[in-house]
Amino acid sequence: MLTLMRDLHRYTARNLGDERMWPLSMPCYIAEGQDIELAQYGTSNIGRLKTLYREGLKNRYGALMQTISGVHYNFSLPMAFWQAKCGVRGRGRCERENFRRLFPP
């Protein structure tokens, strides 16, 4: 799983061109909402419907809400991974202090 995520990140970073990757769901500070352009999805019926939907969201919630986005993945690594990471052998458990060592507050 980690190899796949690394490879996906590398591929995306190499192919962004002049774009930038923002690692957070929440955008950086934006002073004025009127500077945010509405997404355009083309001239097909479906494209126009998507644009109209976004315009409705803008009218209801404001343009700044259009900037909140992201792709979120939830996954769990097996206990064997954490045991190997903590240096635990056999049927032992990763204790809380090991997780604190791996992920300090």
Tell me the pLDDT tens digit for each residue of 50-90: 999 999 988 998 888 878 766 666 677 787 787 777 776 65
What does the DSSP assignment read for 31-60?
A: S-GGGSPPP---SSHHHHHHHHHHHHHHHH
Domain boundaries of the chain, sorted by first residue: 2-74, 76-105
pLDDT band at 15 (very low <50, low <70, confident <90, very high): very high
Looking at the chain, the number of H-run helices and the number of E-run strands are 4, 0
Amino acid present at 31: A
- The residue with greater pLDDT, 96 or 82, is 82
Tell me the pLDDT tens digit for each residue of 35-45: 788 888 999 99
**3-state helix vs strand vs coil in the chain, percent to 5:** 50, 0, 50
- The residue with greater pLDDT, 4 or 72, is 4
Whether 1 contacts 75, CB under 8 Å? yes
- The answer to pTM > 0.85 is no
Average pLDDT for 24-32: 78
